[in-house]
A and B are shown apart, each in its own frame.
Chain A
Amino acid sequence: GNSVTQMEGPVTLSEEAFLTINCTYTATGYPSLFWYVQYPGEGLQLLLKATKADDKGSNKGFEATYRKETTSFHLEKGSVQVSDSAVYFCALYAGGTSYGKLTFGQGTILTVHP
């Protein structure tokens, strides 16, 4: 079946540090890949996406590149801010027999200190 594995957290960084959150996946075919962000007390918001191999998704200074050869979609940001503190979820959509269903990783808690 389809699955997503994220690096375990929590991740604690100082402001302006470089961020990487690793995400790898297992899926049949050519899934679409997503990063969602959940701020405290809120629902999930789509942060960025990539729908085919070698695509780079980007938003709010975050980037992730769809690497089919390594089945990865790592999230990066060059300089984090306190306001980036949140839970980050990697997800995939494979379609086919999984029509309509997103498969999520377990989430990574990020805390950024001033």
Chain B
Amino acid sequence: NAGVTQTPKFQVLKTGQSMTLQCAQDMNHEYMSWYRQDPGMGLRLIHYSVGAGITDQGEVPNGYNVSRSTTEDFPLRLLSAAPSQTSVYFCASSYSGDSAAHYGYTFGSGTRLTVV
């Protein structure tokens, strides 16, 4: 089925470990983004990309890196995990930045990360 695929669904890390959250979409969407969801805070934008080779920071980028070498993939890297990064992470995409005005985003099912 077409959509946004995130892996893994669950992950437990120790403080200081690094890992990569994977996100792939097969809809030829130009725009991709990463959000984190925390209780009472809604979704906060971490990083986003308007196309292959172009990324930028969102609202809460510290501790995370991204790259966009292909249209399909937009991995999120945690450099040195901290307990404050315990959260649910969502990847989202749309045809273009401004198509979000009419169609919103397509979301992945999320990665639940716990840092101990």
Closest to A30 in B: B101
Q: Which residues of A contact B (CB under 8 A)?
A: 4, 32, 34, 36, 41-46, 49, 51, 89, 91, 93, 95, 99-102, 104-107
Report B-chain residues with C-beta under 8 Å of the C-beta of A89: 42-43
CA distance A55 to B109 in the complex (A): 29
Query: B35 to chain A: closest CB distance in Å?
Result: 8
CB neighbors of A among B1-58 (8 A): 4, 31, 33, 35, 40-43, 45, 48, 50, 58
User: B residues within 8 A CB of A102?
Assistant: 43, 92, 100, 104-105
CA distance A51 to B98 in the complex (A): 12
**Can you sample 21 A-B contacts with CB below 8 Å?**
A36-B104, A43-B109, A44-B43, A44-B92, A49-B104, A51-B101, A51-B102, A89-B42, A91-B104, A93-B101, A95-B101, A99-B98, A100-B31, A100-B33, A100-B94, A101-B33, A101-B48, A101-B58, A101-B100, A102-B100, A102-B105
Complexed CA–CA distance, A100 and B104 (Å): 9
The CB with the most chain A CB atoms within 10 A, among B4, B35, B45, B96, is that of B45
Q: Which residue of A lies closest to B49 (CB)?
A: A100
Chain A: minimal CB distance from B33 (Å) = 7
B107 at the A/B interface (Cβ < 8 Å)? yes
Q: How far is the CB of A77 from chain B (nearest CB, A)?
A: 19
Q: How far is the CB of B91 from chain A (nearest CB, A)?
A: 9
A36 CA to B45 CA, complexed, in Å:
16
Q: A43-B109, A104-B42, A104-B43 are known contacts; what are 11 more A-B pairs with Cβ within 8 Å?
A: A4-B42, A43-B4, A51-B102, A93-B100, A95-B101, A99-B98, A101-B45, A101-B48, A102-B92, A102-B104, A105-B42
Residue contact B98 to A100, C-beta cutoff 8 Å: yes
* B75 CB–A CB distance under 8 Å: no
Residue B61 lies at the interface, judged by CB distance under 8 Å to chain A: no
Whether A99 contacts B104 in the complex (CB less than 8 A), given A44-B90, A89-B42, A106-B41, comes out as no
Q: Which residues of A contact B96 (CB under 8 A)?
A: 100
